Amino acid sequence: MISQKSKVAFILLWICGIVPAWSQGTYPYRADIAKIDSSGVYKVKLKPGFLSKSISKGLYDIRIADENGKFVAYTIVSNPSDRAKPVFVDFPEVKQSVNSDTVTYYIAENKDKIKVNQLWLKLKNTAVNRLADISGSDDLQHWFAIKENIQLQDAGSGNDADYEQMLSFPMSDYRYFKIRISNKNKDFVKITRSGVYQEHVIRDLGTVQYVQLPPIKLTSNTTNKRTSYYADIDGNYVIDNLKLDVSAPKYYNRRICIYDIGNKGEEMLYDDSLSSSSFQQDIYISAKTAKLRIDIMNGDDNPLVISSVSAFQLRNFAVCYLEKGHTYYLLAGDTAANEMSYDLSFVHSKPLSQFPSIGHSDVYKNPAYSTPKAASKNSFSLLVWVVIGAVLILLSLLTWKMVKEINSRQV
């Protein structure tokens, strides 16, 4: 017969097991990562078809999980062709007399005003729940918000007394960056250093790797001295490059504007000239969409004829530490997913180009995904609470019986 203690332990384990399984149920798409032969840092080559299932342009909803449903730290990089280990460049701290009993302030100076979209902090080891805001200034007087509510990552299990935290944000070139950490009336966290990692290597543009996307369906409409081409692609793809095949006229120089019209409203992506004197008609944009509009300003000339448009995506990799003996898979498509904040120290253990590259399967429907039903939202919530209540009652009864048995034996 199973003892009362065993029953209680089983139920507790069952409850704990629900959490990772339930967290996966919000991701409709999955792809399996290739088998891991040895533990280490890997570059998982991400297929365009998988990235097209991601909800956000920033790919924030992508997750890597193991066979137990536990999420794994990762970062996405494009075209990692570096040949030297990145060097940490200090952004020295600017001391200011800011008095606060509840907030940690740290100001980092970007002396050369280089454009950055991430800032690395080095902190004394901590395991607390804190949020950080980052703002920018050029004069230490007027500050402008950059990003808010960034979750600080806990220290890892290494032997060092410090750990690194990456803050990612929109591209900025402020002279000063201010990090504000709310301490919730508790002890401060300690930032010891800040800066960026720079690669002291000249990249060979000829090594930039692109992946061609599925064929584009092209339609056009000419009105008021303007030709509009509508480029439809079967999927919400990340698009980094377009190649236009202009068939007529032989000589031309026209203004061209490109808009993303596959999402809410329209967003201008490109505004420049298109000329027959250019060796290649490559256009570099940054979009995640299923539909583009390309406007050609013809003036009084004959319309510019574009016979075809090809779309390309930079080769993207998910860099992560994977362990032998585990199986891993990718998840995507959760509309409510937030940007994760991971300890990414492993990324700088060696040059990115030296990490082995592995692939993943084609994307398929996640077996654990539960399709949300708007009509039964209230009943589903009620069912969850009923299940939780029933489990708590069962635990209470089993605990009561176990205590009663123990007391009777002592008597």
Q: Are 171 and 129 in contact (CB under 8 A)?
A: no
Q: Are 125 and 155 in contact (CB under 8 A)?
A: yes
3-state SS assignment for residue 136: strand
pLDDT at 274 over 70: yes
Section 65-79 average pLDDT? 90
What are 191's strand-pairing partners? 123
**What ranges do the domains of the chain cover?**
1-25+374-411, 28-84+316-365, 89-198, 210-314
Residues 6+ apart with CB under 8 A from 383: none
Residue (of 316, 284, 358) closest to 58 by Cα position? 316
Query: What pLDDT does residue 236 have?
Result: 95
List C-alpha distances in Å: 371 to 62, 71, 102, 378, 387. Answer: 18, 21, 43, 15, 19
pLDDT at 277 over 60: yes
Find the length of the chain: 411
Share of the chain above pLDDT 70, in %: 81
Of 217 and 348, more confident:
217
Residue (of 314, 328, 319, 326) closest to 350 by Cα position? 319
Q: Which amino acid is residue 357, in one-letter code?
A: S
**What element of type H or E holds 31?**
strand 29-32
pLDDT at 16 over 60: no
Q: Environment class of residue 373 by beta-carbon count within 10 Å: exposed (0-12), middle (13-18) or buried (19+)?
A: exposed
Q: Which CATH class is domain 210-314?
A: mainly beta
Distance CA 67, CA 24 (A): 11
Query: What pLDDT does residue 15 have?
Result: 45
The CATH homologous superfamily of the domain defined by 89-198 = Galactose-binding domain-like (2.60.120.260)
CA dihedral 115, 116, 122, 128 (to 10 degrees): 140
3-state SS assignment for residue 382: helix
What single-letter DSSP state applies at residue 189? P
Distance CA 328, CA 333 (A): 17
Tokens representing 39? 């533990």
Q: What is the pLDDT of residues 110-147, one digit of tens each?
A: 998 888 888 988 888 887 788 889 999 999 999 999 99
Mean pLDDT of the chain: 83
- Global confidence as pTM: 0.64
List C-alpha distances in Å: 31 to 145, 226, 267, 340, 364. Answer: 37, 43, 31, 19, 6
Section 272-287 average pLDDT? 82
Radius of gyration of the chain (CA): 27
pLDDT at 324 over 50: yes
pLDDT at 394 over 90: no
Do 89-198 and 210-314 come out as alike in CATH topology?
yes
pLDDT at 260 over 80: yes
| Strand 131-137 relative to strand 176-182, pairing | antiparallel
Q: What are phi and psi of 136, to 5 degrees?
A: -125, 155
Q: How confident is the model at residue 202 (pLDDT cuts 50, 70, 90)?
A: very low
Residue in this structure with the two tokens 């690669």, named with its chain if needed: 199
List C-alpha distances in Å: 324 to 349, 356, 406. Answer: 19, 14, 45
Section 145-172 average pLDDT? 81
Q: How confident is the model at residue 198 (pLDDT cuts 50, 70, 90)?
A: confident
Distance CA 293, CA 232 (A): 9
Q: How many CB atoms lie within 10 A of CB 254?
A: 19
What are 316's strand-pairing partners? 46, 78
